Structures are given as C-alpha cells and as structure tokens.
Structure 1
C-alpha cells in the first residue's frame, strides 16, 4: 500500500494547526500524567505517526529535517505531546531495521505506535525458536498509547558470552507500572514496563551492536536513505525539535504578557521600556536561534549521509550527539532567561512558562541528551581518544 506523501511544508502546517487542541489538553495531560486521547487522535489524523513508516505501508518516509520542524511546531504547543510524538519516531524507525516479514506484522496496524528504550535493563535466556525475557524498563515514553515496544535485553546462555539484543514485543505481553510521578514532562506518561517470562521469537530479535553499527536485517528498506543511517545519529536528530519548540514557546509566552506588565518595586511602569528587558530578550532570542541552527545542522548531516549512503566517521557520530546536547543547553538557557524575566506571577499553574521551564529541565537531565555528557564525548574524540561508549 502506498499513499500520497505530503511535503515538509504541508506536514509542518498540519502540526501547527494542531496547536489549539494540544494547548487545550496540556493541563489535563500534566495532571493525569499521560497524553489526552483527543491529542493522540489529532496526531494520528494529521499523519504524525506515519513520518518514519515505510511507504509500502502508507508511510511518509520523512527525512530528519522534517522531524525537527514538525516537532518544533508541536513543542510550541505542548512539550509533553511533542516529546511522545518524537519518541515514537525513533522506535518506529528501529522497527524498520527488522526483517521485512516482521515489519509486515508490526505495520499491519494503522497509525501504529511503537515505544522503546535503549537501556539493557532486562535479561534473556535462549530457548528453542527465540528467547525468554525477564526484566523492567523505565522512562518508556508513550507506553500508555503504544501497541509495540522495542526492548533491549542481555542474552545469557551457557555456551556463549552475554550479548545485548533488540527485541520487538507487543504491549499486550508486558506489564505497565504507573510510576511516572515527576516534576517535568509530566504529561508524557513515561511509565515503566515489565517482562515476566515473555517469549520473543528469533525473527523479532536483532543483535544490538550490529544495529548500532548500521547493520540491519531489512532488505526492502536497505536502499531507502532514511533507513541507512546509524541509530544514534537518527535518535539524536529525531529528539531535538521538541526542545527548540519549548524554547520558542517560552519566548511566545513572555511576549504575550509583556504589554501588560510593569516591573514591581521599580520606576518602570512598562517592562518593555526597561533596558534590562531589552538585554534579556535579545540574549534569549539569539540562544533560540543558535539552538535551531544546531538542530538543523544535525538534521542536514543525518539526511546528507543517508542520501549519499556514506560511511560515518567517529568524529561525525560524536558531533551528532554534541549538536543534540547543544540544542538542549541553549534552549534551557533561553527558557531560563524568559522565565526569570516573567516575574513572580509566572509561577501560577495557568501560566504555560512554568510548565515549559520544568519540561526543558527534564529534557536536559535525559541521559542521552545531557549537554555535559555529550560535550565531553565530542571533546574526547577531538582529542584523539577512543570513545568510552558504544552509543555513537
């Protein structure tokens, strides 16, 4: 099955048009610690879940620049909803590395949603025809609305060294632990999932090291540019649009309130007249621009390499993570400035900037997106040292 593929501009416009629904449901999602069902349906109707689905299943096979720009629009409306949409894109792409017959099963569900994790926090025992998995995964964003989960487990057998694998598991085989009680990205519903003696057939298992090196099992996707790029650069580029959107949302929230604000306990009856305000908004806006530059540079690198089918150098892989970390760092700095300039009244729960501040803080604490971790890794490679991680 194929469908007419919308252009990047059309998809960005669709995402922008979702803003009223997403904003309306943002407070509900935060209070209930999950994305509102109406928002999920709106994302599906707009084709947001099809961006990484192969064309033969009616998907759009969108490039990463499209993901960045679409997520930016979603993030301007609600960070949690944008985050979940972005997270779905990554395991959906990962599902496309599995054998084609496995994809036939996964993508038989219209607007299928696939959650996942890269943490090897479960164990797997070899059995006839596959493995039996036991373990728990935390921070599984979007699990509450997903049909499948990409898992990572360590296979331990009597006749081989332990080795990590990716697996595809129906959500109906997993238990959900409602433990998402957090200060930021509260609406994402990033609960934990548990496997208790779950059998995963061998065709739904891939060795993780091979995947990280770009060695995939799909034959039909092998020639498609978006599916011949290493996992970590793809994941990095898929994640940053939400962060840019949060930074832009902070600026929009600030400027919306600016005309009616003064600076209490000073002689400024209009905040817009204060030189301090001029310096704050200029610095914050430039940081948003810089964050968007790094997001687009990252997407350009990923898309260009995919089109060329070129090998990735170690430095390029490290720079992909460094760009992602810089987006997070600059966006948080911009949000902090806008938040500081918003005054005491901005801490009320009906003011979006307080939620934006907590959401961007949560993103910056994410293990894969942490600015300091990514900067150190890039600097390590620039200094000629070997990487101290497989996640490149």
Structure 2
C-alpha cells in the first residue's frame, strides 16, 4: 500500500468534514473539498505513473477512500468512481479517447450506462451522432469528460457503443436529489445531436472483452467510502456515550456504564471492522491475479457475496449506533443522521444486490446455469 497516498487522504479529511453539509446542500462536492482532493493527487489514483498518476492498486484505493469517507461520503464516492471509470476507460475506449482521458491526470471523469428510453446513436461518416439522457453520472458537474453507453437501434445487436464526450458538448440536468449521498452530483447528462468522432467511439464489433474482475473496481470503490462513514459514526457515538449522555430514566450516568451499552458499541465496531477485512480481502485477491488470468465464476460470485455482506454489516453497525445515540442523532445538525443516510443509500448500489447474488450462488452450487447476473 502507498503510505504517502494514505497520509495525503488523511490530511484532506478535516476539509471534507467541514464542507460535508454544504456538499449535500449544493448537490455537488464543495469547491474547497474538490481543491483539497486535487492537491492531494487523489483524482489520479488509477492514472498510470507515466501519465502523471499514482497507478494505485485496489488495496490502496480501498484504504484511501475509506479515509475520505470519514470526512464526506459524497466526495469520497465521486473520487472512487472517478478512479474506477478511468481504469475501465483504458479497457473500453480506443487509443485517441484514452489519451484524452489521461491528458490531465487530475481531472474528474464521469461515466454512466443508465440510458433513458429514446436515447440513441446514428452512425454517420466520421463518427456517431448521439442524442439522449444518461442518469446517475456521479461527478457530472465536476467532470471534463464523460463515457456513455449509446444504443444503436439499427445495429442488429443489443450491445451499445461506448462514446467519450466532452462535458462542453453536453448539458447537466440536476435530477439527483436523494435521501443519502446527495452531494455526489449524480445528475443526468443530456446530449442533443452531438457528433462523436470515430476515434472517441468503440462500436460493438470492435469492443474488447472487459475481464469480469474489472467489475470489482467499481464495487470496491463505492463500498470503501461507506465503511469510512461508518467509522466516522463510531467515533461520534463513542464520544457521546463516554461523555455526559445517560440512558433515559436509568441509574446510569453514561451509556458506557451499561454493560449492554458497551456490548452494543463493540458489536457495531466488530461489524465495521469485519466489513473492512472482507473488502480488503477481495481487493487483495483481485490485485494478486496474474495479468490475463481470470477467476472461475464460482470464485467471482463468492467475492461479490463477501462485498454484499460487508455492505450489510455497515448498515447493521449504523443501526446499533443509532440505538445507542438515541433520537437526537436524527437532528439535522447532527452528522450522525447524514452518515446513516449515506450508508443506507450507498450500500444499496446495484453491485451489492443481495437477492440476485444469493440466487446466483445457488445456481452455481447446483449447476443451474446460466447465472441471472450478466456481470459474472
């Protein structure tokens, strides 16, 4: 792990924390938070060293994003998906597009494959004309470039084209107003008859297979900020229950004087620590794969179940902490309610869908194929 990156991440946490409320209110990471992350070099986590980046492995990314999540889960979410998107772009886009993505290692790069009905692309001499809407593009208002999946109605294949489009050619519809992770700028990208040159489009017939293991980058980089937010909640509640907070109408002067209060808290910590260990284990397995190798599908589903379990453990820890803190934890000015909302939303990312993973686990166990998930 890169200790200098982790130290840089820790130093940004006070700034992210100070601006977390503004980030949520403004529906996008606050300028001071963005400046702190950029100065720390954390928008270049997965950029190759030759292009001015850190080329961080997944273990380092998990550690860094967990630290950022202690300060602001929304900002950490954008940093994480920026890292994952830049890594995937190197697999999914043609060389000229990759060069554009890497031209500024500290830029923000957003991506989305969520396409609204009516969105489409038409091949024309020299490129692809694109119109449509692409929602949940995290970091949309910070990004300079976006990667979008473009349906080709007349192509005879359900596979979309992948296009790299400057944000200057798009507009952003501020549609992301959610209970949690409100500051991720996960808004909708809108294209109106935009011409994307050939060198910036991967058409289905030229698409290279993306290794299934590459999918783990996205899952890991959105889960780590949730673990960080849960750690921040642990710290906040620890201060409260060891201070002057007493259980209502009891003989105890502090929550921490109650044996079961202490047990509740240690259970929350155990779940959070276990979630981190599971997440790091998955990162270590994927990092350790030799170039060009592929995990068996049974191993891939087991690793995804590990991450889904870690996501659930974060939610369980938050519930225990809210029980200990009491109803005042839900007051607008209390950061605990923001941590709770962010974790509740972020751990329900589609990568962690527990019922589909449980179904696929059973299908593989009894050789009832194919799996329900295309991502395996």
1:249 counterpart = 2:220: no
- The one of 286, 307, 322 equivalent to 1:324 is 307
Q: Specify which of 12, 23, 34 is matched with residue 29 of structure 1.
A: 23
SS in 1 for 2:183: helix
Shifted more, 170-179 versus 130-139: the winner is: 130-139
2:257 corresponds, among 261, 269, 273, to 273
Structure 1 Cα separation of the partners of residues 297 and 199 of structure 2? 30
For the pair 1:49 / 2:75, whether they are aligned, the reply is no
CA distance in 2, matches of 1:65, 1:164: 31
Aligned ranges for residues 1-392 of structure 1 at < 5 Å? 8-97=2-91, 98-121=93-116, 122-157=119-154, 160-206=156-202, 213-214=209-210, 230-258=213-241, 259-305=243-289, 307-385=290-368, 386-392=370-376
Q: Write the distance in 2 (CA, Å) between the matches of 1:204 and 1:20.
A: 39
Structure 2: segments with no counterpart, 5+ residues: none
The alignment's C-alpha RMSD in Å is 2.0
The answer to whether the Cα contact below 8 Å between 2:59 and 2:283 also exists between their aligned partners in 1 is yes
**Cα displacement (A) at 1:207:** 5.0
Alpha-carbon deviation of 1:100? 2.8
Contact conserved, 2:175 with 2:188, CA < 8 A, in 1? yes
In 1, Cα distance between equivalents of 2:42 and 2:366: 40
**Aligned-partner Cα distance in 2 for 1:262–1:144:** 44
Q: Deviations over 1:78-124 (max 9, x none)?
A: 11111111111111112222233322222223512101123344322
Taking structure 1 as the reference length, the TM-score comes to 0.89
Aligned-partner Cα distance in 2 for 1:143–1:341: 37
Aligned residues: 371
Distance 1:383 1:354 in 2: 42
Q: Aligned-pair distance for 1:133? A: 1.7
CA spacing shift, 1:42–1:341, aligned 2, 3 Å:
same
Is the contact between residue 115 and residue 133 of structure 2 (CA under 8 Å) also seen in structure 1?
Answer: no
Give the conservation status (yes or no) of the 8 Å contact 1:243–1:327.
no
Inter-CA distance 376–118: structure 2 relative to 1 (3 Å threshold): farther
Tell me if the contact between 1:364 and 1:370 (Cα under 8 Å) persists in the aligned partners: no
Confirm or deny: 8 A CA contact 1:80 1:187 kept in the other structure: yes
- Provide the TM-score with structure 2 as the length reference: 0.93
Q: Distance in 1 between matches of 2:122 and 2:252?
A: 69
Distance 2:236 2:214 in 1: 35
Deviations 1:209-267 (A, max 9, x none): 9868327xxxxxxxxxxxxx743122222222112112211111110212221011222
Rate the CA distance shift 1:271–1:230 in 2: closer, same or farther, 3 A. closer
Unmatched 5+ stretches in structure 1:
1-6, 216-228
Equivalent residue, structure 2, for 1:221? none
Contact 1:236 1:320 in 2 (8 A): no
Between the aligned partners of 1:110 and 1:86, the Cα distance in structure 2 is 14
Cα deviation per residue 1:12-63 (whole Å; 9 max; x = unaligned)?
1110111110110011111111110111011010010111112221111110
